[in-house]
Amino acid sequence: MNDWKTQIDKNRVPSHVAVIMDGNGRWAKAQGLPRINGHFQGVETVRRVTEACSEIGVKYLTLYAFSTENWNRPKDEVDALMSLMVSSLKAELPTFLNNNIRLKAIGNLSSLPVECKEELDETMAATSHLNGLTLILALSYSSTWEIKNAIQQIALKVKQGVLEVEDIDDQVVDSNLNTAEFPHPELMIRTSGEVRISNFLLWQLAYAELYFTETMWPDFSKEDFYQAIVNYQNRERRFGKTSEQIDAP
């Protein structure tokens, strides 16, 4: 087995990694289990990847846990996912406290069931003073929803006369997104072999490196995560410039 962790350049660890945790249902189906078993197993992967981030010094980890579109799944599965969210938040609080992890959330949080929203609010409040890894859950989240809201807020400020149209720049847009207080992700990982963004952080991923793996989320290991980091570190991020410009001292 490759030891990917030792190959990581500690000085060039991405500060923000975003993950589309996909493949729970197919993982369960492949073993003849109900889809929800895949989601249960997926929580274990969340724990592993969170730990891996803390170990190598990633400062922000955004996990796509439930999309706006996921509300269209069968009610049984939606209900099970919401109660899994509540039980996992309860169970993980000691881990967050012991490991200096601050919990945050983005998305249409007011659309969550009340127990889920309350548990989330409590966990965020209990960890708000911590300054290790910031774990950001995207819940009832979609990027088009987020961008539409930002446009409305910006338009309202223009209408009220507190913002000039010509002053709308990238920074103004950023500050009206749910992610205003976080840097943009440098790396986005999606598991399960699907090669799409599925309405995740469209603005914020504008220049992220994208990494796709066939591995289903419940099987995604720490070493798989480290492999993604090494892959990211081996890329040349040019931001529109030429290789020669990047190589110049």
Positions annotated as catalytic residues are 22, 70
Q: Does 67 bind ligand IPE (CB under 6 A)?
A: yes
Kindly list the residues in this chain that would bind Mg ion in the complex (CB under 5 A): 22
| DSSP annotation string for 60-127 | EEEEEEEEGGGGGS-HHHHHHHHHHHHHHHHHHHHHHHHTTPEEEEES-GGGS-HHHHHHHHHHHHHH
For residue 226, the tally of other CB atoms under 10 A from its CB is 20
**Closest distance between ligand IPE and the C-beta of residue 14, in Å?**
20
Q: Which of 8, 21, 188, 189 binds ligand IPE (CB under 6 A)?
A: 21
Q: What track of x and - describes contact with ligand IPE for positions 188 through 227 (by CB under 6 A)?
A: ----x-x-x-x-----------------------------
Quick one: which H or E segment has residue 191? Answer: none
209-223 burial, b at 16+ Cβ within 10 Å, e below that, comes to bebbbebbbbbbebe
Among 5, 15, 26, 147, binds ligand IPE (CB under 6 A): 26
Within residues 165-194, the interface with ligand IPE by CB under 6 A covers 192, 194
Closer of 22 and 146 to Mg ion (Cβ): 22
Q: How far apart are CA 182 and CA 162, in angstroms?
A: 24
Residues engaged in binding ligand IPE (CB under 6 A): 20-26, 64-67, 70, 81, 192, 194, 196, 198
